[in-house]
Every structure is written in C-alpha cells, then in structure tokens.
Structure 1
Amino acid sequence: MIVDEKLIEGKRLTWILRCPTKGDSEELSALRIKIDGETENLDREAGEGLLTSEDFKKLIYEDSISEKNLFLVAEVEGKLVGFARLQGNGLSRYRHKAEFGICILKEYWGYGIGKVLLDNILGYADNVGIKKVCLYVVETNTKAIELYKSFGFVQEGLLINDRIHMDGNYYNSVVMGRIID
C-alpha cells in the first residue's frame, strides 16, 4: 500500500515520512547494511541476508500493491535515515496478523522517528483490519521494549538463547504482540 507523504516536525528535527519509490532502492540497500553494522539489536550483521537494489525494487513494488503490507521510510534533508515495514500474512489462518520491524541510523536515535514510524504502521494495520501485530526484539533492547509497551504490545514469550552476538554470548528474544479486538 502507498500512503501520502507527511512532513514531521518532531524533537529538534524536521523530516519526511513517506513510502519508498524504485529510485530509493540503491540507497535502501546501502542503508540496511550500515544500520545492521551499527547495532546488535537487529537480526543481521552487516552484509548478512543482503538485499540488493533489485531486491528492494521488488519489495517496494509488491508492498505498493498489497493491502496488508506497508513500507515507510524516514528522510532527512534528502537522505534516508531509517525505515519500517509491516508484512501481512497471506495464509488464511493467519490473515488477521502481521509482523513488523524498524531500522534507524544510530545518529538519528532519540529524535522520535521510531515512535512516528510505529504509530503510522499501527494506524495503517488498524485501518486495514489487521487484528494482531507481532515482533521479536532482543531482551537487552529495553528502550524498544518500553516503546512497544506504550503502544499496547505485551510480552507473549521469551526465546531463550535465541541469538549469538559478536561478543560470543547468547541473548534472549522477546516475542511481543498487540491485539485489537
């Protein structure tokens, strides 16, 4: 689905919230690699699960025609600094449900970009009849967990020793969900 562009005047930063276009695909591919290398909060290390420019073009197109998917980007002064993606489930038994993720460059943490992305993702999900939105978050990412809780997410489970970070230690993943009746 495609939504209208919005100018966001937030915490000490003005930025644009919009859906990506094909022209963003190369920048998105590079951005994803950079963000993956800046934090251990995401699933991948830099360069793993690589999505090329062509892969992003395909995602952008598929999401633009899907009623259950939404891809949003955050743009500051003509530069993409983050993105979020909601992906609905095409299986009949799970058609009421979607998963999402958010990625933001570390230098833009603390400006409220994640909160705006999340608010828009959930507003969209509610409008298209998605009853449950799910996510996985590393247990040590307490800021993200608190943000999700403030939007009505609850912890549904804990995956013990679910991931290994570069320090060689195992970390738990929190399974969270938000249900709309």
Structure 2
Amino acid sequence: MIKLVAYNEEYLALSGKWLRDPEIKELTQTPSFTDEQQIGFFNSLEDREDYRIFGLEYFGRKVGAAGLKNIIDQRAEYWGYLGEKELWGKGLGQSIITEIFAFALSIGVSSVFLKVSPNNIRAIKLYQKVGFEMAGHLDGLCVMEINIGNKPDV
C-alpha cells in the first residue's frame, strides 16, 4: 500500500534522478534544473505554508513523490509522480490521490486542481476516474479540478 512519508534528503536525491528521466520529465512537464536549484528548493520547504511535499513509500520502498502546491485558503494544486516506472499501470495512482485528498481535507483544503500534459493520457484517465473534471487549458496544459469537500472516499 502507498504511504505518504516525510520528504527527506534520500527522496531529494531520488527525485533528481527520476525527474531527469526523459519520459518522466516530459510527462510531468518538469523544466531542467541543477543540483544547486534542487537543494535550494528543498531548503525552502521548511518555511513554506503554500507547498506540502511527501515521499511515496510502497511496501517500504521509495517510489515517488506527491503533494500540494499553491495552497491558498481552501484551494490547492495537486501534483505527483511514480519515479519507479515498473510500478506504472498497477493502480497505485488512485491510492496516491486518495492519500493526498485525505491530507488536503485535514488541512482545510476542499478544492483541488491540477495541470497535466494533454499527452499524458494515462494520468488524465486516472484523474477522470477519481472525479476530476476538465476546467480548461493553460499554457498548453489541461487544467482539471474537483471539490473534495463532499467526496472524501475517492
């Protein structure tokens, strides 16, 4: 089962590897970054109220990261990825979203949106399956949203 765990230096190093993989980089629309930029981002997390990040653990194995960003009042943006590609297509995405929604509700967030590449068909299907609806497009990305305030049991 997927667990949200503290995002630490080990996850930071793995994230650097995962997000430099060409396929993951393209699907997540991750811009290029240096190790110094990544460390700066990590060091900023402790003081940020608008960004919550978790490592993803699957039966004790570090497999990805997910969280909420742009948290303002009761609204936040979801993001997440499985860095271990052999786990893709195994149904873990829904578990990740369920865990993030539970966390979101615990901090008073009831409206969640996300941005996804229109080429990331697998992710779009997952998001639709859990209740996200297409809300439009921004900078070439699909914007999807859901009100989880009345939908805690994804």
User: Are 1:102 and 2:74 matched, yes or no?
Assistant: no
**What secondary structure sits across from 1:52 in the alignment?**
helix
1:156 corresponds in structure 2 to 135
User: Are 1:174 and 2:146 matched, yes or no?
Assistant: no
Residues 57, 26 of structure 1: alpha-carbon distance in 2 compared, 3 angstrom cutoff: farther
**Higher RCO, Cα 8 Å, sep 6+:** 2
Residues 24, 62 of structure 1: alpha-carbon distance in 2 compared, 3 angstrom cutoff: farther
Deviations 1:84-121 (A, max 9, x none): 1212434xxxx221012112122221223322211111
Residues 79, 54 of structure 1: alpha-carbon distance in 2 compared, 3 angstrom cutoff: farther
- With the length of structure 2 as denominator, give the TM-score of the two structures: 0.75
For residues 75 and 3 of structure 2, what CA distance do their matches in structure 1 show? 28
CA contact (8 A) 1:71 1:84 kept: yes
In the alignment, residue 98 of structure 1 is paired with which amino acid?
A
For residues 47 and 18 of structure 2, what CA distance do their matches in structure 1 show? 20
- In terms of fraction of residues, the more helix-rich structure is 2
In the alignment, residue 131 of structure 2 is paired with which amino acid?
G
Structure 2 gaps of 5+ residues are: none
2:17 corresponds in structure 1 to 30
Identical-pair percentage: 26
- With the length of structure 1 as denominator, give the TM-score of the two structures: 0.66
Structure 1 gaps of 5+ residues are: 1-7, 9-14, 163-171
Deviations 1:51-103 (A, max 9, x none): 423432432x346xx4x64322223576532111212434xxxx221012112
In the alignment, residue 144 of structure 1 is paired with which amino acid?
A
Out of 99, 104, 109, the position equivalent to 1:125 is 104
**What secondary structure sits across from 2:105 in the alignment?**
helix
Residues 22, 44 of structure 1: alpha-carbon distance in 2 compared, 3 angstrom cutoff: closer
Aligned pair count? 145
